[in-house]
Amino acid sequence: MALALAARVGGTIINADASQLYADLRVLTARPSAAEEAQVPHRLYGVLNGDDAASAARWADMARAEIAMAHAAGSVPILVGGSGMYLDTLLEGIAPVPEIDAGLRAAVRGLETADAAAALAREDPLLAARLRPTDRQRLLRGLEVVRGTGRSLLRWQQDREGGIAATMDVRALVVDVERSLLHARAETRLAAMLEQGALAEVEALVARRLADDRPVLRALGVAQLAAVLAGTLTPADATTGIAAATRQYQKRQLTWLRNQRPAWPRWTAESGEPSDIMK
């Protein structure tokens, strides 16, 4: 859809998927193929090394720069991807949280996930109630902010800066696919990934012995395929686990869109051309 829209309106496709930023996982993250990238300009795909740690704020800075360059070239920037926090940061801006003391941050980052969840529940119960107890990255961020500033991240987020929604004409579109069809497509794509070398990609990534907190290691499928390589999971069980994790992620995306962006128009197979909806 993005390719067709870009060809029709003279667009530049800009990646808004957190995992597709990384060069290490072209196959497993379903990045556009070289042939697809040759059709229209593509930006921010495979631009980071797996040892790098992107964040929503960093991506938003990168995306703003690419949007500006697209505008300067007379092109229409088309952001494609489903990383809700990334999109939200770009559109609405980032909370002006002061830099956290390095020693305090290191102490928080050294906590086990369960301990961090328990601490956040005590020190910032409102934020803790909004997070999954296994969402390590957000738990640690919330805890270091409340300890470092004496103020909840939720309060900081009430005064956000740098969002493009207030200064640009942003047209949004949600691809709304019937759930059973969405699941079937994901399973077909997973089979293709495995045939095209996803296991070898993960083997090369594991061989790099990256720090456990590197975001690339959280890409869907990495943990399961790494377990296959370690001999602790069968290929069949890994495939089942990846499919289940993908369905869970799809559900979280849809929940985010329903709760955070209920007014965004939906596209279905009966909706006509996407560029017609986005006029």
In this structure, the dihedral spanned by the alpha carbons of residues 212, 216, 221 and 225, taken in order and rounded to 10 degrees, is: -60
- Residue 253 has a pLDDT of 87
How many Å separate Cα 268 from the centre of its chain?
Answer: 23
- Residue 39 has a pLDDT of 96
Coil, strand or helix: which one is 22? strand
The model carries a pTM of 0.81
- Residue 254 has a pLDDT of 85
Domains of the chain: which residue ranges?
2-93+163-277, 96-159
Domains 2-93+163-277 and 96-159 are alike in CATH topology: no
- Residue 102 has a pLDDT of 93
* Strands annotated E in the chain: 11-15, 42-43, 76-80, 93-94, 161-162, 174-175, 266-267
- Residue 276 has a pLDDT of 57
- Residue 270 has a pLDDT of 63
- Residue 94 has a pLDDT of 86
- Residue 273 has a pLDDT of 61
Report the CATH fold assignment for 2-93+163-277: Rossmann fold (3.40.50)
Regions of the chain short of the pLDDT cut 50: none
Q: Return the CATH number of the domain spanning residue range 96-159.
A: 1.10.20.140
Query: What pLDDT digit, counting tens, does each position of 230-254 carry?
Result: 999 999 999 999 999 999 998 888 8
